[in-house]
Structure 1
Amino acid sequence: MHYNKGTHLIATLHTTEHQLLNTFEAFRTLTENLIETHQLQKLGEVYHNFLPAGYTGVVCLSESHLSIHTWPEHGKVNVDIYLSNYLRNNDGTVNKIYSAIKEHFSATVEQEQYLKR
């Protein structure tokens, strides 16, 4: 059996859509749709809204995880997407999820790093 390395993307995004950085509800809906669209298996999730604004969230997948942390006061979003399903190449799925997240926030990329592991 061939082993496909997982695809791990870590990025810092910038947005002027500060209202999307305040609370997690819209992002959770996006994540649920992405998980269904890409036929991923969610094992659990934790989200937390900070006061006065900002949130963090982690979705544990059988394929690995998605996570986010926002700083509305700086217009920043940190995203971590890792898919390690060794039975298939994950590059396309990671890129589609990442594109959807960037589009959701109308974000520009400040920094990104792809790892194959």
Structure 2
Amino acid sequence: EDDDDDEDDDYDDDDDDDDDDEEEHLPAGQHLLVDMKDVDGTFLNSEELLAQAMVDVVADSRLTLLSYHCHTLVPTGVSCVGVLLESHISFHTWPTEGVITLDLFTCGAAPLMPVLPVIERLFAIPRPPLFEGEEVPKPGVGWSHVLRGFRDAKAHGDTDALSSDDLGVDVLGYLFYDLKEEVASVQTPFQRIDIYNLIDSRSVKIADYQRSLSNDGSYQAQHPDLFAPNKVVFLDGVKQSTSKGDAGYHES
């Protein structure tokens, strides 16, 4: 009887594995695009360093790397692509300009945006100063997140907020914010709350914001409120308020 029970358990486990495999191969995924500037040119022209950074991103993100290939271009630049169990990662570099463009696509339900800090830590390498005392700019990072394919709400969770016009399209899907920083993302029993800090170069220059954080006696440093990011609150993906236009709402 015990053997029969064990066989039943094994059969059940196989069923669970089949269900997991089916879920992993549903026709849906997430696409993360990341553009970086002011990155160290030596790093961007090193096939070895870039390949290691890609391997580390995959490992730190708990993804599975099946194979990868990098190719050094003439006169400069490197292109890499990695095939993942979950889909792919790829990037191309412009060392002279200090630019790298990277994209990461995964299938399945695991959220992809938590990988952003990992990518920034491993790829946004600042260049060394050209002379003593030079103020080296911090690498700029622009990113967008897009839902792809056709998803099953039960298998992939509630993604209405991520596909909404306000949060999903206008914020997460827009690549060209000078600053797009998640302050909080909370799912309560009743609603999802997302808060983002945003800087659009049409209203505030990122250089002015960065200077406002210093103590250099500049106008920006003396009036930091004028150059602060716009803090935007979303409920279930719908914009509720902004710090620039609804200061009283936030203060209350």
TM bin, normalised by shorter chain, reads 0.7 to 0.9
The whole-number CA distance in structure 1 between the counterparts of 2:123 and 2:53 is: 11
Equivalent residue runs for 1:61-80 within 5 Å: 61-80=84-103
Among 140, 143, 148, the residue aligned to 1:112: 143
> Which protein is richer in strand relative to its size?
1
* Partner amino acid, structure 1, of 2:79: T
Would you say how many aligned residue pairs link Structure 1 and Structure 2? 114
Deviations 1:44-100 (A, max 9, x none): 11100012221000001011111110011222111111121x2x3222443243333
What is the CA RMSD across the aligned residues, in angstroms?
2.5
The whole-number CA distance in structure 1 between the counterparts of 2:101 and 2:146 is: 16
The whole-number CA distance in structure 2 between the counterparts of 1:59 and 1:9 is: 15
Among 15, 21, 25, the residue aligned to 2:38: 15
Runs (5+) with no aligned partner, structure 2? 1-18, 127-137, 149-252
Percent of residue pairs bearing the same amino acid type: 23
Which of structures 1 and 2 has the larger relative contact order (alpha carbons within 8 angstroms, sep 6+)? Answer: 1
Q: Which secondary structure does the structure 2 equivalent of 1:73 belong to?
A: coil
| Contact kept? 2:113, 2:145, Cα under 8 Å | no
* Partner amino acid, structure 1, of 2:102: V
The whole-number CA distance in structure 2 between the counterparts of 1:104 and 1:39 is: 22
TM-score for the superposition, normalised by structure 1 = 0.79
Moved over 4 A (4+): none
TM-score for the superposition, normalised by structure 2 = 0.40
Runs (5+) with no aligned partner, structure 1? none
Q: Which secondary structure does the structure 2 equivalent of 1:47 belong to?
A: strand
The whole-number CA distance in structure 1 between the counterparts of 2:146 and 2:92 is: 20
Choose 56-65 or 39-48, whichever is displaced more: 39-48
* Partner amino acid, structure 1, of 2:90: S
| Contact kept? 1:9, 1:81, Cα under 8 Å | yes
